[in-house]
Amino acid sequence: MNWEPSTNRGSFAAILVLGLCLMLVPASSVFAGISSLSINQAGTLAPGGRQVTVNGTVMCPTPETVQISVNITQFVHDHVVGKSGNTPLGILCTGAVQNWTVMAGSDAPMQTGPASAGADAFACCFTKPFFEHAETTADVKLQ
């Protein structure tokens, strides 16, 4: 078998150029994924401080369903109190900005005032065979 280096280099260069061109092709909206996720800066503290309601917005492509989980932490009396919750049934994506609300609860009460919130959004699986993920954090004032 006669091996010619110049032929192999030409094939390698063609494959390299093709790969670079494919990387530069913009993704269509079908592959856009979760394009925005936010948390509102005001949270609502239930009487007794054991439940907190947090709101925000999300934008994701149709016909995905997005599940949002929220963790809220606050420094209370020299220790950290944490709460978590999620959207109970998920949200059917419309391609437009949509509101979400999560109620989080735990045994340790929180107080009115500043807290930190983190949100994770997971969308799945109608337009592609894998999960999409987005996350954000915000300072929240509990009222």
What is the CATH number for 59? 2.60.40
Asked if residue 12 belongs to a domain, the reply is no
Asked if residue 17 belongs to a domain, the reply is no
Asked if residue 20 belongs to a domain, the reply is no
Is residue 35's pLDDT more than 80?
yes
Report the mean per-residue pLDDT for the chain.
Answer: 79
Q: In the predicted model, what is the mean pLDDT of residues 39-55?
A: 95
Domain that holds residue 135: 29-142
Is residue 133's pLDDT more than 60?
yes
Asked if residue 22 belongs to a domain, the reply is no
Asked if residue 43 belongs to a domain, the reply is yes
Is residue 127's pLDDT more than 80?
no
- pLDDT tens per residue, range 69-120: 999 999 888 888 888 999 888 899 999 999 999 999 878 899 999 999 999 9
Asked if residue 23 belongs to a domain, the reply is no
- Count structural domains, the chain: 1
Q: What is the DSSP string of the chain?
A: ----HHHHHHHHHHHHHHHHHHHHSPPPGGG----EEEE-SEEEEPTTSSEEEEEEEEE--TT-EEEEEEEEEEEETTEEEEEEEE-SS-EE--SS-EEEEEEEE-SSPP-SEEEEEEEEEEEESSSSSS-EEEEEEEEEEE-
